[in-house]
Amino acid sequence: MRRERKYRTKFIVSVCVLALVAGMAVAATAAEEKKDTAGVLMKLLDAVEAGDYDSFVADGDAAFKAGITKQMLEGVSAQLAPRMKKGYERTYLGQLKQQGCKVYLWKLMFKDGGDDTLAKLVLKDGKVAGFWLQ
């Protein structure tokens, strides 16, 4: 009986250690992924602030590039660029998986004290498949 308990305890400890190591690996991967997507987000936000269409669509897939016109970006830029130039902070809210894509959500808080904006970044196969500022 004692020997059985000893092996059971070792087994439980081993499983716990493996779970901890796996959890740490997942957390490290998630942190790296968040960092990578933050770079994509900042490139898009910088393009909105500057009204730079070519930079805005540079990392997009074919459908994204076809669906976004210069006039669309100019409209968004006219609304948000003045607020962005006064300063803003971004906060990562989380990730969703939808229709084979990874969707990243960010909160933009503007220093002008006005309404916050939700940034929704959709990536598929490493390309921007969608980007919304609401």
Could you state, in order of their start, the residue ranges of all structural domains in the chain?
2-133
* Residue in the block written with tokens 């459908």: 63
Average pLDDT over residues 73-86: 97
**Strands, sheet with 88-98, edge to edge from the N-terminal-most edge strand:** 88-98, 101-110, 117-124, 127-133
pLDDT, averaged across the chain: 85
CATH topology for the 2-133 domain: Nuclear Transport Factor 2; Chain: A, (3.10.450)
> Which pairs from 67-76 meet CB under 8 Å and 24+ separation?
73/47, 73/48, 76/48, 76/133
Give me the pLDDT at residue 36, please: 77
On the question of pLDDT at 102 being above 70, the answer is yes
Q: How many whole angstroms separate alpha carbon 87 and alpha carbon 78? A: 15
pTM listed for this prediction: 0.75
DSSP SS3 for 111: coil
Q: Are 44 and 57 in contact (CB under 8 A)?
A: no
Question: Bridge-partner residues for 97, per DSSP?
Answer: 102
User: Which tokens in the block code for residue 20?
Assistant: 């901890």
Q: How many whole angstroms separate alpha carbon 97 and alpha carbon 37? A: 14
- The per-residue pLDDT for range 15-65, each reduced to its tens digit, is 444 443 334 333 444 565 566 799 999 999 999 999 999 999 999 999 999
Give me the pLDDT at residue 134, please: 95
Q: How confident is the model at residue 115 (pLDDT cuts 50, 70, 90)?
A: very high
